[in-house]
Amino acid sequence: MVSLRFRRSHFLGGLISIALVVGGFGCQPNQPTTDNTSTPTTTVSPQPETTPEPSTATKSELAVYWLTYKADQLALEPTKIPLGDLQNASPQEQLSVAFNRLLVGPANTDKTNAIPQKTKLNSLKLEDDGVHVDLSKDFTTGGGTKSMQARLGQVVYTASSLNPKEAIWISIDGEPLEVLSGDGLIISQPMTRKEFDTNFSL
């Protein structure tokens, strides 16, 4: 009998102990859950600032324009004139040198000149309204329409070599050039490269 009571007592005590343990866990406050799994972040390295390269402006170059054939078509072709001692010269002085070189004629046989050999440069002035070129009357002599157009192009392009948009005024012995050749080539004053390309063909 004693043994049975002891077993019951021991059994009940075990149940109570279990109940207390289970109840103790149930009474614990909810602990905040922490997620130790960290989301990888992508670190963007700042790009070093780059200074843009200075734009290289297209420089106009002092040049003489000769005539040459390209694919059986007459064309104006520039020959650069090294500045050398002209480095510190004024644009007017530089253009005067270019014109005197133009009137001498090309050194290479693959280029030609439509301007008559006896043509002289009377004066060249660079003014606010453009380049004023005064040539001797020889400029208007000899050759047909193609030759007249070609020599006109040589003058316009050479005179505007330092500034391709420059307005060119052409006169013959002090008189504005209005008509060139017996065919009546009308010359507008002033003339630019664009106007020459639009109104004349080589």
Domain map (residue ranges) of the chain: 63-199
> Is 140 within 8 Å of 176 (Cβ atoms)?
no
Burial class (CB in 10 A: 0-12, 13-18, 19+), 139: buried
Q: 3-state DSSP: the chain helix, strand, coil percent, rounded to 5? A: 35, 20, 45
Gyration radius from the chain CA atoms: 47
> Is 152 within 8 Å of 115 (Cβ atoms)?
no
Tens-digit pLDDT string for the chain (202 aa): 444 344 444 444 444 443 333 344 343 444 444 444 444 444 444 444 444 443 333 456 899 999 998 888 899 999 999 888 888 899 999 999 999 999 999 988 889 999 999 999 999 999 999 999 999 999 999 888 899 999 999 999 999 999 999 999 999 999 999 998 767 789 999 999 999 999 998 8
CB atoms within 10 A of CB 126: 18
* Cα gap 179→98, rounded to integer Å: 25
* Cα gap 150→66, rounded to integer Å: 9
